[in-house]
Every structure is written in C-alpha cells, then in structure tokens.
Amino acid sequence: MNLPDYTLEPEQVPLQEEPARSSAERDALKAEIKSLLAEKNAVLVAHYYVDPDIQDLAAESGGFVSDSLEMARFGRDHEADTLIVAGVRFMGETAKILSPEKTVLMPTLKAECSLDLGCPPDQFKAFCDEHSDRTVVVYANTSVQVKAMSDWVVTSSCALDIVNHLKDRGEKILWAPDKHLGHYIQTNTDADMLLWQGACVVHEEFKAKALLDLKKVYPDAGVLVHPESPAAVVAIADRVGSTSAIIKAAAELPNDTFIVGTDRGIFHQLRRQNPNKRFIEAPTAGDGATCRSCAHCPWMAMNALENMASTLLSGDNEIFVDPAIGERAMLPLERMLAFQTG
Ligand code: SF4
C-alpha cells in the first residue's frame, strides 16, 4: 500500500481570530467562569497552547495546565463531576474515554488537529490490516476510532521510552500519524517502524535555514524544538522534547536566551517561570514558507473565555464517545499511563 501524504492543504486550515476585549471584560469573564466552575462542580483542564488567560484561569481555579499526557491523567484522577477541556477534540475524547462517568465539555467542538484529520479511521484500518504483523502505536493526536485500533497510545513525553521498550521485545511497529515525530523516534531508537504520513500544520512550518540565520543573530541562544518539527529543524536543537520537556529545559539550561520551535502558546509558561530569560519564536518564514499557522495552532486558538463561559452556562459542547469504542480505546491509553508510572 502506497501511503499518500496526509499533510493538510492551506484551505483546510481555519483562519485565526483574536478576541477583542478590554481588560475589564476579561476580568468579568474570568470571574463568571470561576463561579460557574464552582456551581457545576467542574474543573478546567487546559493545554499549554491555549490562550494565556485560560491557562491562568485553570491555575487559579484549582484546575490544571499541562501537556496532553498529564491533562489525561489529571482529568481521570480528579473528583469533579464535569471536566471542561480547553484544547482540541482528541483531548476531550481522551478525557471521556478515561472517565466515562464524567461529563466532558469543551469550549468548542470545532477545535480539530491536523494529525487527527489526516488519519481517517477507514484508511487507517486498511493500513493496519495490510501490516497485521506489526504492533500498532498511535500518537494521542488521533480520533477515538483510531485509538481503538491500536495496541499502544503514546504522547511526545513517553513515545521514545515506549518504542524502546517494544523494540527490546523484538516488536515491529506501525506508527501513526505524525511522520516527523515518527522519524525522530525511529532515528533515536533504531526500531523497525512503518510510518503514516501525517503532519502538524504548526510544527511543519518551522524552517531550518531561517533558524540557522536567526542563530547567527543570537549565537548564545539555546534552541528548544518539539519533535513534530521537520528533521532539519530538530537537527539544530540543543534540546528536543514535548512541551513539558521544553519548559523543563528552559529552566535547566544556563542560556539567557532561547529560540523555541513549538506553538507560541507555550511562551506564557516559559516567561512566567523564567522572568529573567528571553524567548524568541523559531522562524516560520523563509524558503518554502506558506505560514498557514504562524507558530500558533488555529484550532487551539478557538478556545476563548467567551465560549468557555457560554458552554458552562448551557452545558452544550459535550463530548460523547460510543461506549464500546471507548472501552477498546481505553486499553492502549491505560497501557500508556501504567507504563509511565510503572
Ligand atoms: S499544534 Fe499541531 S499537533 Fe497540536 S493540536 Fe494543533 S495541529 Fe494538532
């Protein structure tokens, strides 16, 4: 089976809209959401890529801001009746799979992910059927249907360790959907991996030549890169890792300045935790640039204080997962969570 390239076309990527609100309106919305969270026994779980106001609100209201792995774990273990997940759809689905008894709401159900969109379940099933001798490892950025076909779910925090573990057991791997992350894992583990050809519209845009040019301007800057980026960009990095690993590296490394190759939503935590350090976006301009995302995920940007308040008021935008598919998808997810704590 020759796999097509599942990278999205520019017209499939929505335009971003910045909310126009005064600081008084913002404070009023935050206060309203806090009281709605308490009233509904709900907790806010947010990703590092969403609006800084939402990240602050999660932290201030007893919720949580993190990467997708830790969001999943926090949502599963929290006692609230309702989880409101600020992120993209697969994160809401993961929360529902792990906590079927809880109500899971999202500020919008339109927040997709190019990796999830680029891995249609029927085509993925055909790929798996054709390579049934392989262990199926899928990235968390997939639909519940794709997860339900897998043996393991991984995030960028644990993918290297899990693939190393499988390689040590002599298993051959079918990997989906991110081709760049797959290539990075393959290179660093030497595992036998067959890669689906999807990509993240944000990380795909980082440009190696422009990054090298920027390094000349800031020769002492450390370069931190997420492994969903192209190999030529990853090769320039001082540290490669998940969002949590990037935040950790920024605190640990001695550099005063960092060039960061991941969604710019992460700059909020980087600056908050390292007020004396300087953070610069890795370039998305340069040779071959189309700048469909400009280092910010257009779907993550759909999460706003306004739609969060209205969702909590109305109870709309609830995530539902077919119980039978959810039960099957829970197996590889729980395997991942157990591996991390085991
Ligand atoms: S940043 Fe990329 S991987 Fe993350 S949700 Fe957006 S499209 Fe998906």
Residue 266 has a pLDDT of: 96
CA dist 250 and 271 (Å) reads 10
Best CA proximity match to 242, nearest among 178, 324, 198, 304: 178
How far does the centroid of ligand 1 lie from the alpha carbon of residue 15, in Å?
Answer: 14
CA dist 55 and 60 (Å) reads 9
Domains of the chain listed by start with CATH number: 17-110+300-321 (3.40.50.10800), 115-199+327-341 (3.40.50.10800), 203-281 (3.40.50.10800)
- Regarding the beta carbon of 208 and ligand 1, being less than 6 Å apart is answered no
Q: Whose CA is nearest to atom 2 of ligand 1?
A: 200
Best CA proximity match to 108, nearest among 256, 292, 308: 308
The single residue listed with the structure tokens 């089976």 is 1
Of ligand 1's listed atoms, the one at least distance from the Cα of 113 is 8
Expressed in percent and rounded to 5, the helix, strand and coil fractions of the chain are 45, 15, 40
pLDDT score of 163 more than 70: yes
3-state DSSP call for residue 269?
helix
Which of 47, 48, 71, 141 most suits a substitution to test ligand 1, by most atoms within 8 Å of the C-beta?
Answer: 141
What digits encode the pLDDT tens for the residues 182-198? 999 999 999 999 999 99
What digits encode the pLDDT tens for the residues 193-214? 999 999 999 999 999 999 999 9
pLDDT score of 238 more than 60: yes
Residue 330 has a pLDDT of: 96
How far does the centroid of ligand 1 lie from the alpha carbon of residue 297, in Å?
Answer: 6
pLDDT score of 137 more than 70: yes
The CA angle 8-300-224, to the nearest 5 degrees, is 85
E strands of 249-298, at which residues? Answer: 257-261, 278-281
pLDDT score of 224 more than 90: yes
- Regarding the beta carbon of 115 and ligand 1, being less than 6 Å apart is answered yes
How far does the centroid of ligand 1 lie from the alpha carbon of residue 1, in Å?
Answer: 27
Residue 72 has a pLDDT of: 85
CA distances from 314 to 36, 223, 311, 318 (A): 11, 44, 5, 10
CA distances from 191 to 2, 9, 168 (A): 21, 31, 9
What confidence category does residue 69 fall into, taking pLDDT thresholds of 50, 70 and 90? confident
- Regarding the beta carbon of 297 and ligand 1, being less than 6 Å apart is answered yes
How far does the centroid of ligand 1 lie from the alpha carbon of residue 8, in Å?
Answer: 12
- Structural contact between residues 269 and 48, judged by C-beta atoms closer than 8 angstroms: yes
Of ligand 1's listed atoms, the one at least distance from the Cα of 178 is 3
Which runs of consecutive H residues, i.e. helices, occur in the chain? 23-39, 52-60, 68-77, 89-98, 114-117, 121-130, 144-148, 159-168, 179-189, 208-217, 231-234, 243-252, 267-273, 305-314, 323-341
How far does the centroid of ligand 1 lie from the alpha carbon of residue 256, in Å?
Answer: 28
Residue 286 has a pLDDT of: 57
Instruction: With 0.75 as the threshold, say if the pTM is over it.
Output: yes
Residue 13 has a pLDDT of: 66
Which residues, 6 or more positions from 11, have their beta carbon under 8 angstroms from its beta carbon? none
Q: Whose CA is nearest to atom 6 of ligand 1?
A: 297
pLDDT score of 39 more than 70: yes
- Structural contact between residues 56 and 272, judged by C-beta atoms closer than 8 angstroms: no
Q: Whose CA is nearest to atom 8 of ligand 1?
A: 113
Residue 139 gets which letter from DSSP? E
Sheet of 257-261, strands arranged across: 239-240, 222-225, 257-261, 278-281
Residue 96 has a pLDDT of: 96
3-state DSSP call for residue 17?
coil
CA dist 275 and 224 (Å) reads 17
How far does the centroid of ligand 1 lie from the alpha carbon of residue 2, in Å?
Answer: 25
Best CA proximity match to 126, nearest among 274, 210, 309, 4: 4
Which of 68, 294, 299, 302 most suits a substitution to test ligand 1, by most atoms within 8 Å of the C-beta?
Answer: 299
Which of 66, 292, 297, 302 most suits a substitution to test ligand 1, by most atoms within 8 Å of the C-beta?
Answer: 297
How far does the centroid of ligand 1 lie from the alpha carbon of residue 10, in Å?
Answer: 15
What digits encode the pLDDT tens for the residues 239-264? 999 999 999 999 999 999 999 999 99
- Regarding the beta carbon of 88 and ligand 1, being less than 6 Å apart is answered yes
pLDDT score of 111 more than 90: yes
